[in-house]
């Protein structure tokens, strides 16, 4: 049944399908019975949890994409080939960073199916952060994941021809790239039916965001970078909802947006999600938690940079570098410039995420779940103003501490976007 | 015989092969006899001219790549797949700019064969320029070719998913990209056996080029751009030897290096070749011709920019732009910034070409053919110093006229690279 033509699975067919895969069958002992439970992300794919009846500790997750947008039904076609890229990225991450991703038991691109480790006792980082839960070392884990995956798949970690071979595995992930181009970099900044704007927030958007030419052109420059810069294989959708965590572990999931893009993209997105959580806690009044979130978000940058540079120190030859081309001083200069560039780009991508999560189709539950629209609007505008501020400061910020100062001053009311009065 | 498994052709097999292709057979009337003549570029591929015996005006060029470097023999393997990219690019150019490329009669990726128009009464631009021949409107033709091909295959001329599909057709042109990475961006600036350095020039290279950290890091930044920036399908090897010209026409050939790269790459290379020709005419003393060459080289930039912007004015929607995102003023700002960026990048790529053509494995006949090594060294050093000067000025030059002034001052002895005294 392996690598057959596509067939959409249901719980019955699923059992037969898993039975045909020796490794999965051995693990679950399917003949002795399994429990199949649809758990689903619900929006795009079918997701099942399959548990061995004779050993409840043995379970797998089975994810299958269908050739339409599941939440909208068959009338909304969406290529099931997205699963191809989820499989490819997750398998690569299994090699590069096995400690940070679910183990892949089996994958089948033709069937658009992946069978992977069930992450017992892990929960979604976003919901934990909404409740004010602390996760020791979360910044270290995220920073490590990013440094490892970005470096190892980049022109600094790979030889030129290997790298182009890997690029060819992801270049056709076109549909999901297009979603990002539209929903992160375009629609939120213009009048578009897909946006979801709180009516109270709308006035600010009209007067201060969509009229700000410099801001919009900065967004456009980042869209151009997203379209054209192939630094490394990026996760493409790294937010607090795509991290499964416990106090001890962190697992990155949902790799279907993976493609070769700019270094700063994942970094910017995940930090934006931390900052949005920070903003949401103005509503709970949990200042202590805000402090923790801000420190963690800045520590992601620091951890990333430290580990990225450590890896670089160990790598003498790559697509970019040939032993003997540079002396140590020259290389150090190049490294320093590169880290500043990645940092500044990620601040820009962070600004894009802050905005689109506040007014675009996909909000964050941290803020969108707040029922009172006036309370919510205040937080949304706080996020939008921070987006503008960061975008305008981006190219003058060279260090994490400088960024932290800007953000702290902003939340303290001591710093605000250009052309806007203190509010 | 079409699309069969690969077989290396010889003149006899070639005749049978062409006979099996109806369109070519009809054109040449092969049964009535053809003359097969090997003409060859000699270095990489086999190239034949095939002429109809009953009508000498009917001729085609047949080019086949072999799985080794032809000039070195079978012991030097080189994937014949390079022909795949030559075919794909040339067929695309046949659609985009049919007036500037030989017509493709037939192509066969499996056989690594392309059958194309024989360019009667055209000669290689480089050799014409070495003899001081004038070609009216050559800059206009080159600028037009570049504007059309770069715009139409870029994120400004293509819709996002179409563009990624086209990228997937070229992403695996890895071997020839690697040649560029090594021979244009790396080896010339370090001690490497592949270099070909005039002993008199060598001292300058050691003292003033390879010790210049800023210069070397600038080269490295351009290598990074070459590795990571996928603005458009670039020709990849556009120099005066890959242009076949007459007084009336110009044809671009040798498209096997085509890949998705930075906008400025082709522009920089072709302009560098014009400037190298300019420098070579210090030896002939043909000042009038030098003046023409310099004007033409600057006119390439101007023509490119004019036509690129004209195409952009006609294109409302693309991967980057969505109707309604920008107002006209905003878009004009973005366009202006983009044209400056392309211009500055191309000056940088021009600087790389000037250097590698002077000391790397592949010189230009304009200068390398000069027998007297002292005369030659003087010209090589002139080119190297210009390379350094342009690299250092690059980011401060916003307009073609500013570049022209720098170059004129340099040749007049009024401007020279930083850290170097006037020589």
Instruction: Count Cα neighbours of B209 within 13 Å in the Cβ-side half-sphere.
Output: 31
Closest residue of chain A to B229, computed from CA coordinates = A229
Do A171 and B174 make contact, defined as CB atoms within 8 angstroms?
A: no
Rounded-to-integer distance, Cα B16 and Cα B117, Å: 19
**Could you give the residue range(s) of every CATH 3.90.1200.10 domain in chain B?**
123-411
Residues B138-159, mean pLDDT to the nearest whole number? 98
CA gap B130, A400 in Å, rounded: 55
CATH 3.20.20.70 fits B123-411, yes or no: no
Locate B23 and state its tokens: 């369109």
| Cβ count near A187 (within 10 Å) | 21
The answer to whether the beta carbons of residues A188 and A351 sit under 8 Å apart is no
Confidence band of A421 (pLDDT split at 50, 70, 90): low
CB-nearest to A164 from B174, B186, B324 is B174
Report helix, strand and coil shares of chain B as percent, to nearest 5: 55, 10, 35
Smallest CA–CA distance, residue B202 to chain A, in Å, is: 17
The first and second tokens of residue B71, run together, are 């000039």
Classify the phi-psi angles of A65: left when phi > 0, otherwise alpha if psi is within -120 to 50, otherwise beta: beta
CB contacts of A341 in chain B (<8 Å) are none
pLDDT for B3 equals 45
Mean pLDDT across the stretch B192-206? 95
CA–CA gap between residue B205 and residue B262 (Å, rounded)? 28
pLDDT above 50: residue A283: yes
Question: Are B174 and A161 in contact (CB < 8 Å)?
Answer: yes
Mean pLDDT throughout A333-339? 98
Distance of CA B183 to the CA centre of its chain: 14
CA A115, A121, A123, A125 torsion-angle sign: negative
A159 to chain B, minimum CA–CA distance in Å?
10
Rounded to a whole number, what is the distance in angstroms from the first to the last CA of chain A? 63
Q: From A160, which residue of chain B is nearest by alpha-carbon distance?
A: B178
pLDDT at A313: 96
Whether residue B181 and residue A319 make contact (CB cut-off 8 A), yes or no, is: yes
Residues making up chain B, counted from first to last: 423
d(CA A25, CA A105): 10
Interchain proximity A333–B217, CB inside 8 Å: yes
Contact: A161, B168; criterion CB under 8 Å: no
> What is the percentage of chain B residues whose pLDDT exceeds 70?
96
Q: What's the CA gap between B263 and B129, in Å, rounded? A: 26
Instruction: Provide the 3-class DSSP secondary structure of residue A171.
Output: coil
3-class DSSP assignment, residue B364: coil
Residues in chain B closer than 8 A to A167 (CB atoms): 171
Judge whether A34 and A59 are in contact, CB under 8 Å: no
Tell me how close the Cα of B213 comes to any Cα of chain A, in angstroms: 6
Boundaries of CATH 3.30.200.20 in chain B?
A: 11-117
More confident residue, A74 or B93: B93
Lowest mean per-residue pLDDT among A87-101, A103-117, A294-308, B38-52: B38-52
Average pLDDT, chain A: 94
Per-residue pLDDT reduced to its tens digit, B241-280: 999 999 999 999 999 999 999 999 999 999 999 999 999 9
* Selection from A87, A96, A94 nearest residue A307 by Cα: A96
Contact between residue A135 and residue A124 where contact means Cβ atoms under 8 Å apart: no
The reply to whether residue A220 touches residue B322, judged by beta carbons under 8 angstroms, is: no
What is the pLDDT at residue A1? Answer: 40
Q: How many CB pairs under 8 A join A and B?
A: 112
| Token output for A195 | 């946006």
This prediction's pTM: 0.96
Residue B5: band (very low, low, confident or very high) from pLDDT cuts 50, 70, 90: confident
Cα A184–chain centre separation: 12
| pLDDT tens, residue by residue, B49-84 | 999 999 999 999 999 988 887 767 777 777 878 899
Per the CB < 8 A criterion, the answer to whether A44 and A29 are in contact is no
ipTM: 0.95
For residues B276 and B103, is the Cβ–Cβ distance under 8 A?
A: no
Question: Is B325 within 8 Å of A217 when comparing Cβ atoms?
Answer: no
Percent of chain B at pLDDT exceeding 90:
89
Q: How far is the C-alpha of A279 from the C-alpha of A301, rounded, in Å?
A: 19
Task: Characterize the bridge pairing of strands B45-52 and B59-65.
Answer: antiparallel
Considering only CB atoms, which chain A residues are within 8 Å of B325?
Answer: 186, 189-190, 216, 220
CATH class of the domain defined by A11-117: alpha beta
pLDDT of residue B4: 60
**Calpha distance B126→B240 (Å, rounded):** 5
């Amino acid at each position: 049944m392996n690598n057959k033509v596509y067939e959409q699975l249901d719980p019955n067919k699923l059992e037969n399908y898993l039975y045909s895969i020796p490794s999965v069958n051995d693990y679950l002992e399917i003949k002795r019975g399994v429990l199949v439970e649809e758990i689903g992300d619900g929006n795009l794919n079918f997701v099942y949890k399959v548990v061995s009846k004779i050993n409840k500790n043995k379970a797998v997750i089975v994810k299958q994409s269908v050739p339409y947008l599941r939440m909208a039904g068959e009338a909304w076609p969406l290529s099931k080939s997205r699963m191809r890229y989820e499989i490819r990225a997750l398998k690569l991450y299994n090699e590069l960073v096995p400690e940070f991703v679910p183990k892949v038991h089996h994958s089948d691109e033709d069937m658009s199916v992946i069978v992977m480790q069930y992450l017992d006792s892990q929960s979604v980082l976003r919901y934990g952060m909404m409740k004010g839960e602390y996760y020791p070392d979360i910044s270290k884990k995220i920073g490590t994941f990013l440094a490892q995956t970005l470096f190892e798949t980049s022109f600094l970690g790979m030889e030129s021809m290997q790298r182009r071979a890997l690029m060819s595995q992801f270049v056709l992930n076109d549909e999901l790239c297009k979603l990002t181009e539209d929903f992160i970099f375009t629609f939120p900044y213009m009048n578009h039916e897909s946006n979801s704007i709180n009516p109270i927030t709308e006035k600010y958007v009209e007067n201060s965001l969509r009229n700000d030419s410099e801001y919009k052109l900065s967004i456009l420059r980042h869209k151009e970078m997203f379209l054209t810069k192939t630094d490394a294989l990026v996760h493409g959708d790294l937010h607090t909802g795509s991290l499964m965590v416990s106090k001890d572990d962190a697992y990155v999931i949902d790799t279907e947006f993976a493609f070769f893009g700019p270094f700063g993209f994942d970094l910017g997105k995940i930090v934006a999600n931390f900052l949005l959580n920070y903003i949401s806690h103005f509503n709970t009044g949990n200042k202590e938690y805000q402090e923790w979130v801000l420190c963690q978000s800045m520590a992601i940058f620091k951890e990333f940079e430290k580990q990225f540079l450590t890896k670089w120190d160990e790598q003498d030859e790559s697509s970019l570098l040939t032993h003997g081309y540079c002396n140590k001083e020259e290389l150090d200069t190049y490294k320093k410039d590169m880290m500043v560039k990645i940092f500044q780009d990620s601040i820009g991508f962070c600004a894009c995420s802050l905005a689109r999560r506040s007014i675009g189709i996909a909000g964050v539950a941290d803020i969108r779940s707040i029922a009172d629209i006036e309370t919510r609007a205040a937080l949304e505008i706080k996020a939008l103003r921070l987006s503008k501020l960061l975008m305008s400061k981006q190219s003058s910020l060279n260090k994490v501490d400088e960024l932290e100062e800007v953000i702290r001053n902003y939340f303290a009311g001591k710093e605000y976007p250009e052309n806007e009065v203190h509010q």
